Amino acid sequence: MHFICTTCGIQYDATEQPPAHCPVCEDERQYVNPGGQAWTTLEQVAARHRNIIELVAPNLYAIYTTPSFAIGQRAYLLVTPGGNILWDCITNLDASTIDIIGRMGGIKAIALSHPHYYSTIVEWSHAFNNAPVYVHAADARWLGRKDPVIKLWEGATHSLWDGICLVLLGGHFPGGAVLHWPAAGNGKGALLVGDVIQVCPDQKTVSFMYSYPNYIPLPKKEILYIRDAVQALHYDAVYGAFGRVISTGGQQAVTFSLERYLRIFE
């Protein structure tokens, strides 16, 4: 059985009994539930939760679970001429979700920002014709469930199609990445960032952390790398992992926020 950690939502390789540990939660960037490690299955999650598929911008859908499960992040479905891309992932996957997305053209590829959102990526891939799942090689050690659909990419960028590109930022994790979608917003462009870049509650600024639940900041060298990696990208909107969006002026907001962060070190 492929057990799922109830705290982070990540599915692990098949075992007869629940694993003794969840390495992702035991890492200092996450946490083990104070009540103790607990496990579930996809069937149990699907029986208690439903997914919402919400149009949030032209050709862009947010996918999230109600009631919230585990970390509570959102995935995004990009509808593009070359095929649909699932950016990041959520744990719950049921027949209704598969049917609705299938009617929208299915999923050609899945891409992940960082390990906290690995969830049930293999299940999603298998449901959509074994769509390749792109994970940066620097974070391969955190994969809970291994499968041939996982495609490890290396280096600073990885191109998909229609100008869409995965960009390595590091920071939160060594393989932390964002997705650059230049055709979004009638050519104004968008960044889908997970929480490698965290959209703040004011939806006008962003932040960067090594650990969000444990409030561990990033060192200066990591912020400088992020600044250098994003400065050549052109985008207007920034879509975060928890329903927060900077709908316009996103590039200026990220630049301002990076400068604000770096002033701490002066």
Q: What is the mean pLDDT of residues 158-178?
A: 97
Cα(257)–Cα(259) distance, rounded to whole angstroms?
5
Q: For residue 110, give the nearest of 164, 65, 72, 57 by alpha carbon.
A: 164
What pLDDT, on a 0 to 100 scale, did the predictor assign at position 217? 94
Cα(204)–Cα(26) distance, rounded to whole angstroms?
33
Q: List the end-to-end C-alpha distance of the chain, in Å, as a whole number.
A: 52
Range of the domain at 148: 4-263
Band of residue 265 on the pLDDT scale cut at 50, 70, 90: confident
Q: What is the mean pLDDT of residues 89-103?
A: 98
What pLDDT, on a 0 to 100 scale, did the predictor assign at position 266? 79
Residues facing residue 134 across a β-bridge = 111, 151
Cα(55)–Cα(62) distance, rounded to whole angstroms?
6
Which H helix or E strand runs over 75? strand 75-78
Question: pLDDT tens-digit profile of 110-156?
Answer: 999 999 999 999 999 999 999 999 999 999 999 999 999 999 999 99
| DSSP strand pairing (50-57 vs 209-211) | unpaired
* Domain total of the chain: 1
What pLDDT, on a 0 to 100 scale, did the predictor assign at position 18? 95
CB 223 within 8 A of CB 198: no
**Residue 218's domain is classified under what CATH number?**
3.60.15.10
Q: Quick one: DSSP state of residue 170?
A: -
Q: Which two tokens stand for residue 24?
A: 């992702």
Q: Could you identify the residue written with the tokens 């590109």?
A: 165
Q: Which two tokens stand for residue 145?
A: 């469930």
Q: Could you identify the residue written with the tokens 């001429």?
A: 81
CB 94 within 8 A of CB 78: no
Between the alpha carbon of residue 176 and those of residues 157, 195, 253, the distances in Å are 11, 9, 20
Question: pLDDT tens-digit profile of 4-19?
Answer: 999 999 999 999 999 9
Residues comprising the chain, all counted: 266
Q: What is the mean pLDDT of residues 96-119?
A: 98
Cα(258)–Cα(199) distance, rounded to whole angstroms?
12
Annotate 173-186 with b (16+ C-beta within 10 A) or e (fewer). bebbbbbbbbbbbe
Question: pLDDT tens-digit profile of 219-257?
Answer: 999 999 999 999 989 999 999 999 999 999 999 999 999
CB 176 within 8 A of CB 196: yes
Band of residue 42 on the pLDDT scale cut at 50, 70, 90: very high
Looking at 168-211, list the stretches that DSSP marks H as alpha helix, in order from N- to C-terminal side: 184-187
